[in-house]
Amino acid sequence: MPALLTLLLRSIASLMVAVSMLTATYALPAADGIHKSAYVGNAKSHIFHEASCESSSKMKEAHKVTLETRDEAIELGYAPCGICKP
Ligand SMILES: [Zn+2]
């Protein structure tokens, strides 16, 4: 029954494509989530940084505040860092 076998293989192939597409769809929001939290504020000094700024990586976890946008940071009274100039 080669015809049936071919059909079966095609089904498996299309299933794998569907799964990889699904995986890609789920992977994207996670990547977006990282980009959205582009700024890190320091709750103690009230200075905010680019997430990539080395000061934000040195910051104590307890003082870290995730800021979605620059406007949000300004509204919350955070001042931009002089090094990374967010
Ligand atoms: Zn900075």
Rounded Cα gap, residues 77 and 67, in angstroms: 12
Strands of the sheet containing 79-80, edge to edge, are: 64-67, 39-42, 47-50, 79-80
Model confidence at 1, pLDDT cuts 50, 70, 90, reads low
Query: Per-domain residue ranges for the chain?
Result: 1-36, 37-80
The two structure tokens encoding residue 81 = 């860092």
Give the pLDDT confidence of 33-56 residue by residue, as tens digits.
444 578 999 999 999 999 999 999
- Band of residue 78 on the pLDDT scale cut at 50, 70, 90: very high
**Ligand 1 mean position, distance from CA 62 (Å):** 17
Residues 48, 79 contacting (CB under 8 angstroms)? yes
CA of 75 to the centre of ligand 1 (A): 18
Rounded to whole angstroms, the Cα distance separating 48 from 46 reads 7
